[in-house]
Structure 1
Amino acid sequence: MPFARLSDPGYLLALAVIFLFALPLHELAHAWVAERLGDPTPRRYGRVTLNPMAHLDPIGALMLVLAGFGWARPVPVNPLYLRYGPRVGMALVGGAGPLTNLFLAGLGILAYRAALEVSALLNFVPVLQFLSAWIFINIGLAVFNMLPLPPLDGYRVLQGLLPPDLAYAYARLEAYGPLLLLLFLVLDRQLGLLWSVLQPFYGLAFRLMHL
Structure 2
Amino acid sequence: MKRFFNPGFAVLILLMVFMSISGGRFSNPLDWLMRMLLSLPAIVIGLSFHEFGHAFAAYKLGDMTPKYQGRITLNPAAHIDPFGFLCLMIAGFGWGVPVQVDMRNFKNPRRDELIVSVAGVVMNLLIAIISAGILKLFYTFAPLFIGYSYMGSVVQQILISMILINLVLMIFNLLPIPPLDGFGIVTELFNLRNTELYYKIYDKGFLILMVLIVFNVTDLILTPLVNLSFSGIMSIFF
Above 0.5 in TM-score?
Answer: yes
Q: 1:64: Cα distance to partner?
A: 0.7
Which residue of structure 2 aligns with residue 168 of structure 1?
195
Higher deviation after alignment, 191-200 or 44-53: 191-200
1:43 and 2:67 matched: yes
1:90 and 2:116 matched: no
Q: 1:198: Cα distance to partner?
A: 2.4
Is the Cα–Cα contact under 8 Å of residues 145 and 153 in structure 1 kept in the other structure?
yes
Tell me the TM-score normalised to structure 2 length: 0.77
The letter for the 1-side match of 2:181 is D
Q: Name the CA distance, whole Å, in 2 between partners of 1:130 and 1:31.
A: 26
Is the Cα–Cα contact under 8 Å of residues 79 and 90 in structure 1 kept in the other structure?
yes
The match for 1:179 among 189, 207, 224 is 207
1:57 and 2:81 matched: yes
The share of aligned pairs that are identical, in percent, is 32
RMSD across aligned positions (CA): 2.5
Give the 3 Å change call, closer, same or farther, for CA 80–136 of structure 1 in structure 2. Answer: same
Q: Name the CA distance, whole Å, in 2 between partners of 1:141 and 1:106.
A: 14
Tell me the TM-score normalised to structure 1 length: 0.86
Q: 1:79: Cα distance to partner?
A: 1.2
Which residue of structure 2 aligns with residue 131 of structure 1?
159
Q: 1:52: Cα distance to partner?
A: 1.6
1:6 and 2:29 matched: no
Write the deviation string for residues 55-87 of structure 1: whole angstroms up to 9, x where unpaired.
2222211111012221111100011211222x2
The letter for the 2-side match of 1:178 is F
Q: 1:160: Cα distance to partner?
A: 1.3
Give the 3 Å change call, closer, same or farther, for CA 169–198 of structure 1 in structure 2. Answer: farther
Is the Cα–Cα contact under 8 Å of residues 65 and 101 in structure 2 kept in the other structure?
yes
Q: Name the CA distance, whole Å, in 1 between partners of 2:120 and 2:225.
A: 18
Write the deviation string for residues 131-172 of structure 1: whole angstroms up to 9, x where unpaired.
11111111111111111111111111111111x358734421
Which residue of structure 1 aligns with residue 3 of structure 2?
none
The letter for the 1-side match of 2:57 is V
Give the 3 Å change call, closer, same or farther, for CA 190–76 of structure 1 in structure 2. Answer: closer
Q: Name the CA distance, whole Å, in 1 between partners of 2:105 and 2:53.
A: 17
Q: Name the CA distance, whole Å, in 2 between partners of 1:116 and 1:24.
A: 28
Aligned length: 206
Give the 3 Å change call, closer, same or farther, for CA 142–174 of structure 1 in structure 2. Answer: same
Give the 3 Å change call, closer, same or farther, for CA 8–191 of structure 1 in structure 2. Answer: closer
Q: 1:196: Cα distance to partner?
A: 3.2
Q: Name the CA distance, whole Å, in 2 between partners of 1:106 and 1:165.
A: 32
Q: Name the CA distance, whole Å, in 2 between partners of 1:141 and 1:53.
A: 18
Q: Name the CA distance, whole Å, in 1 between partners of 2:188 and 2:217.
A: 30
Q: 1:189: Cα distance to partner?
A: 6.2
Give the 3 Å change call, closer, same or farther, for CA 194–121 of structure 1 in structure 2. Answer: closer
Q: Name the CA distance, whole Å, in 1 between partners of 2:194 and 2:135.
A: 41
The letter for the 2-side match of 1:158 is V
Give the 3 Å change call, closer, same or farther, for CA 190–151 of structure 1 in structure 2. Answer: closer
